[in-house]
Amino acid sequence: MDDKDRAEDRGEGAGLSCDRERRSDKRTPLYAQIESYVRDQIRSGKWKPGKRLPSENQLCKQFDVSRITIRGAMDKLAEEGVVFRVQGRGSFVAEEAGKGEPAKYDSGRGASGDRELQTVAVILPRLRGMLTNSLLAGVERALEPSRFRMLLLTTDDSQEKEEIKLREALRAGARGVIVYPAEGRTYSEEMLRLTLDRYPIVVIDRYVRGVPTHCVCSDHIAGAYEATEHLLRLGHRRIGFVTTPYEGTTSLEERLEGFRQALNDYGAALDRSLVLERAEPDAIAAFLASSPGVTALFAVNEHIGQMAIRAAEAAGMRVPDDLSVVFFDDYDHADASRIPPTCVAQQGDTIGFEAGSRLLSLFGNPNQERSMVRIPTRLIVRASTAAPRGAERV
């Protein structure tokens, strides 16, 4: 490489400014700025047909951006035939703009002429339960007509593992990500970086306030309100709320808010002493023993709800005669349970489909305004709730 080429690869005279003011441009994604830079170099004649472009690593260092940002720009240029790739050698300027690479190179089309399949990563806390299965079915339904297919990864609800899985997805060439974030007050560092780079990413269920993202989630407030209202109409007034630590996890915060709003509307203000943040059998048993006036429990998820039923029965209480229990999330064969539960069902298939559709739309229009889609929930009344003894229905 001669001195002139080195100067070009360092970006001297480039049409893209690399300072922080330029990188913080909210209107133009970083990968689109890189794409414009490459086009400018070719149009100006600085990069001739057949010239090998700087490597992804060189461009990352040159512009201080992530590798996925560079890859997004190169993918678009390759699709349009502005550049072509040679396995193991890199990217090159095409002989004619729009004509694409020479026939001796793989054009990315299969024998049928269809574009080859590409991946999007779907990152979930765990693979368990009806909600997860229906989410995946919804995403697959959205992706089916496209050339994108799922790469499935799990995090055990750990931000540390979420970082690792996101990096794995990028190394695997994922063009976008649908992620159910790990619980916490903020996104993982990798999530934040991708969001700021305007990499195509859609979050489901949870979001972080103050960090704009494309988000699809259940209407947690309305779902919790409806479940609490059901208990209030049965005649319950002292209702416990059982959760894991909720501050910073928006889905849990919103469920508590829906619970609070329903209590207020029925003249039963929230009693903070009835909010239990230790979702453990011993803690629930101790809570019930120390709160004799409590006639119902609202649990934030199915796992805690089932735990609450077992803890109550271990303490000699009958569900629903002595204690009514309602919780978020339905599960398979719930109707056949020993005590069929009253629960708030989330529309996982719809959430997954909307998330997949939103991600596909970002590939075509990455500059669209970030927005949140809330999917309604449905209260399913079964046998775990009943009117407390001596109470009148509202």
User: What is the pLDDT, as a whole number, of residue 121?
Assistant: 97
Strand bridging mode 148-154 / 275-276:
unpaired
Compute the distance between CA of residue 231 and CA of residue 259 in angstroms, rounded to an integer.
Answer: 11
Whether the pLDDT of residue 13 is over 90: the answer is no
Q: How confident is the model at residue 109 (pLDDT cuts 50, 70, 90)?
A: very low
In which region does residue 192 sit, left (phi positive, over 0), alpha (psi from -120 to 50) or beta (all else)?
Answer: alpha
Count other C-beta atoms under 10 Å from residue 85's C-beta: 19
Asked if residue 376 lies in contact with residue 158, where contact means CB atoms within 8 angstroms, the answer is no
Lowest-confidence range among 199-213, 264-278, 303-317? 199-213
Q: Is the pLDDT of residue 393 over 60?
A: yes
pLDDT range class, residue 95, cuts 50, 70, 90: low
**What are the tens digits of pLDDT across the range 20-46?**
333 344 456 787 888 888 888 888 888
**Least trusted range by pLDDT, from 108-122, 241-255, 274-288, 313-327:** 108-122
Contact at 8 Å (CB) between 346 and 377?
yes
Q: Which stretches within 65-217 are classed as H helix?
A: 67-79, 129-143, 159-171, 189-196
The answer to whether 16 and 67 have CB atoms below 8 angstroms apart is no
In one-letter notation, the amino acid at residue 219 is D
Residue 102 binned pLDDT confidence (cut-offs 50, 70, 90): very low
Cα dist. 304→241, 242, 301, 365 in Å? 11, 7, 6, 41
CA separation for the pair 213, 279 (Å, rounded): 30
- For tokens 């991708």, name the residue: 194
Residues 324-362 have pLDDT tens digits of 999 999 999 999 999 999 999 999 999 999 999 999 999
How many secondary structure helices (H) and strands (E) does the chain include? 13, 14
Residue 6: pLDDT over 60: no
Listed as own residue / partner, the contacts of 261-266 with beta carbons closer than 8 Å and 24 or more positions apart are: 261/221, 261/225, 262/224, 262/225, 262/226, 262/228, 262/229, 262/232, 263/228, 263/232, 263/239, 265/229, 266/229, 266/232, 266/394
CA-CA distance, 41 to 315, in Å (whole number)? 75
pLDDT, mean over the chain: 85
Confidence at residue 45, expressed as pLDDT on a 0 to 100 scale: 83
Cross-strand partners of 92: 52, 84
Name which residue leads in pLDDT, 33 or 19.
Answer: 33
Tell me what pLDDT residue 9 has: 44
Q: Which domains does the chain have, with CATH numbers?
A: 3-93 (1.10.10.10), 118-218+348-377 (3.40.50.2300), 220-347 (3.40.50.2300)
At 51 the pLDDT is: 82
pLDDT value of residue 62: 86
Stretch 203-209: mean pLDDT: 88
Q: Any idea which of 139-143, 296-300, 360-364 has the lowest mean pLDDT?
A: 360-364
Q: How confident is the model at residue 86 (pLDDT cuts 50, 70, 90)?
A: low
Per the CB < 8 A criterion, the answer to whether 328 and 343 are in contact is yes
Residue 16, Ramachandran bin (φ over 0: left; ψ between -120 and 50: alpha; else beta):
beta
